[in-house]
Each structure stands twice: as C-alpha cells, then as structure tokens.
Amino acid sequence: MRPIPELTPAQARERVARGALLIDVREAHERAAGMAEGALGIAKGELLASPSTHLPAIDREVVLICQSGRRSLDAAGALADLGYTQLASVGGGTTAWRADGLPLVQPLQTDAERDFNERYARHLLLPQVGVAGQQTLLKSRVLVLGAGGLGAPAAFYLAAAGVGHLRIADDDVVERSNLHRQILHTDASVGMPKVLSARDRLLALNPHLDVDAVQVRVSADNVDALLDGVDVVLDGSDNFPLRYLLNDACLHHRIPLVYGAVERFTGQVSVFDAGRQRGQAPCYRCLFPEPPPPEFAPNCSEAGVLGVLPGMVGLLQATEVLKLLLGMGEPLVGRLLSFDALGMRFRETRLRPDPACPLCAPGKAFPGYIDYAAFCSGP
C-alpha cells in the first residue's frame, strides 16, 4: 500500500476548491468547537463502519481531517485497505488549520447540544466517559446529606460534572463561622437555610440541573423517602447517630454509601456497598461496631478543623461518586483512605466484612431502625 499523502491546510483547501471531498472524522462534540470550512462531519467510527454509504465511488478524491492529523491518517489507511485510491490527510489537522488562519465554521446545533458539547468538552474527550457516560451522569440521582464542610465542595463538583439530579438534605442555616470551609455559601448567605443557599449556587454554576433542596433533619422517619430513587448517597454528616442511620438505610435499600469524615488535620474516605455485595464488602458497622464515647469524637465546632481539609475529603468523595455512577476505576470498597494534612500523607487500610456483623452478615434480615442517639450516647 502506498503511503497516505499528508497535506498542509492550504494544500487541502486548494484540493477542496477543485472538487475534493473534505471529511472531518472527529466526534460531533469535538466538531462543535469549529470545523474547517467546506468539511463534512462524519466520525471515524461511523465512516469506517459503512464507507460505501458515505463514499460510494472508490476513486473519488477524499481528504480527511481530525484534530491533530493522527486519526485522519489512520482512517485514510483503513479506507485504502478497502480499495479507495484517492486519499489524503491534513497534517496537523484542525489545530494547524486554525493556526494558519483559514476559515472555520460552526456546525448546526440546537442550544441544548451546544451547551452539552461545550460544558462537558473535557469529559467527552475521555474514552471512559464520552457521550454515553456523560448522558449517564445527567440521568443519575445522588443524595448529598449535609450542605456543610464535606457536602459543599462535593456538591459543587458533582454539579459541575453534570450529575443531573442532586438531592441535598440539611436542616441548618449558614453561619459566618462556616465560610472558611463551606465554599457553596457566601457572606450574603448568612442566616439562609444551607440547602437554599446551596441550590442557588449550584444552579448558578449549572442551570440545567435538578437540585432538590430538602430542609429537614434526617431521621429514621424520613430517611427512606430521602433515599427513594437515589443511585448513590454521599455522607457529609458530622455525627455518629446519623452515620449509623445512613449505613443501615443504604444497606437496606442496596445503595452504595460514600463515607467521609474530618477532624482537625485528618480525614477519612471509604465506600460502603454491603447492600449490593453482602458478604464481600463491609459496611460502616464493620469498621465501627460501636461508636466511640462522645468525649473522644468531637465535631468541628468543638475541635476545630483546617479550612481546606473538608475540601480535600469532599473532592475525594465526589470522585468516588462519579466512579460509581460511571462504573469505572476501582472504588474504595473495602478500603479506608486516611489523609494527614500536616504530613501530607495518605494511608490505605484494608477493611473486611465482619461475618458476625448484625447488619450485613450474609443471611441477616434487616432488623429495622433503632434509636441511634441512644445507641451512640453509650450506657
């Protein structure tokens, strides 16, 4: 097979002017940023899947272009193997075309298509996400419990990533002491319910989302309703009774729980998915069969916390949520990731399911919710 000629953008434009067919083989979302004038947009996979549909004459002069020139050269080689004879590729692709000052055109798009392609452009370039993965995120439902130190940064990035349905539950109001770490809120939000402040900021960032702001204290009476239709739960709580309740509810409803906790200069993250992987993955009770005495588990208002630490842990939680929704990577199931901000060190601890766990042991029936405040207050 003869080598595929590589043309400069100017040479390619001259050939198009003489009747050559210019085809942009990038994906639709890549072409949204601008195509070489005169090009026809046909993605490489689509072109090679049915070349005769798009190129009925094997001797038609065809010039292929992509972003950098690599894909178009590969596509031209594949077409040559099929018997097409008049093929060339644009060296440097659309990047070189733009750098040479040659005219670009915007493909016809609806406002929704344009927003999707521009907003999520960097996600769409990832093979592990792409168009299908981004559409999965847009259809996903996540409960963020707490709009405070952990929930604030996590919700911000989940909204930016395009998780289409966010339910945020919190009964607190914004205080000025929150602002050094709870980045969803501003000084103008002081005195507002946190969920309403959070909804305003999230919709300002991504107005196409569905943000359900639920101003309520989460309890055994309402947790089932909050989990209804949810794909993943992100735990941004700051007390043990609520963590045990969330664990039990997520186990009961077979929903993965992304756990996070911070204190002073240290934080923890894990994923508890025992509801879907009973006997194989641990639950929160496998890690903490019993809560520590209250004096050994102060919250941020009692012990203090470095302002950036909840941001670090919340971002790690958001990352785990995205991995679970997209089914990619290795979530922190059966692993506890600990972070020491002062030493800037991460440490991973393996967690195993407790065969005697009263909640997640194989064959155990769900015992129902208990008085979690009493359980955590000790004898």
Interval 58-97: pLDDT, tens:
999 999 999 999 999 999 999 999 999 999 999 999 999 9
Interval 139-148: pLDDT, tens:
999 999 999 9
Q: What is the pLDDT of residue 191?
A: 97
Q: What Cα–Cα distance (Å) separates residue 305 from each residue in 244, 261, 263, 265, 342?
A: 22, 11, 6, 6, 12
Residue 379 has pLDDT above 90, yes or no: no
Q: Where does the pLDDT of residue 275 fall: very low under 50, low under 70, confident under 90, or very high at 90 and above?
A: very high
Enumerate the CATH 3.40.50.720 domain ranges in the chain, comma separated: 140-377
The CATH number of the domain covering residues in 6-108: 3.40.250.10
Interval 148-183: pLDDT, tens:
999 999 999 999 999 999 999 999 999 999 999 999
Q: What is the pLDDT of residue 300?
A: 62
CA distance 369 to 219: 10
Residue 301 has pLDDT above 70, yes or no: no
Enumerate the CATH 3.40.250.10 domain ranges in the chain, comma separated: 6-108
Query: How deeply is 242 buried, as exposed, middle or buried, from its count of CB atoms within 10 A (0-12, 13-18, 19+)?
Result: buried
- Structure pTM? 0.86
Correct CATH for 140-377 of 3.40.630.30, 3.40.50.720, 3.90.1150.10, 1.10.150.20:
3.40.50.720
Q: Across all residues in the chain, what is the average pLDDT?
A: 94
Contact 65, 89 (CB under 8 A): yes
